[in-house]
Amino acid sequence: MLEFHPAASREQRLTAAWYDDARIGMGDRFLSDLVDAIELVEQFPEAGGPWLLGMLPDGIRRVRLKRFPYLLVYVTDPRLVAVAIAHERREPGYWLPRLREL
């Protein structure tokens, strides 16, 4: 079961609300894509590509959402935790301090 860092849960809610404000129903589509990514990660934790930002520890992975420019960033060790719901082009690595909280 994929756990969520509190900040990742907040990002999920805020991003869905932003899309829904932009166009009714888009927030639900965003959440549907996110659920698909979550189910993939829960079934196949190694499915996401490794995060290659220099000196990061192994086990940091990401899955791109199908229709949205967002990544589900997660760790696989010691437990499966979503660290961020991150826009793929904004502030890369902003979520790195969260790794210390796991």
Does the structure show a pLDDT above 70 at 55?
A: no
Does the structure show a pLDDT above 70 at 54?
A: no
Q: Domain boundaries in the chain?
A: 3-101
The strand ranges marked E within the chain are 3-4, 49-50, 60-64, 70-75, 81-87
Does the structure show a pLDDT above 90 at 21?
A: yes
Residue 51 is classified by DSSP as: P
* φ and ψ at residue 81, rounded to 5 degrees: -135, 130
CATH architecture of 3-101: 2-Layer Sandwich (3.30)
At 53 the pLDDT is: 62
CB atoms within 10 A of CB 7: 17
pTM of the model: 0.92
Describe the strand order of the beta sheet including 60-64 as a list of residue ranges: 3-4, 81-87, 70-75, 60-64, 49-50
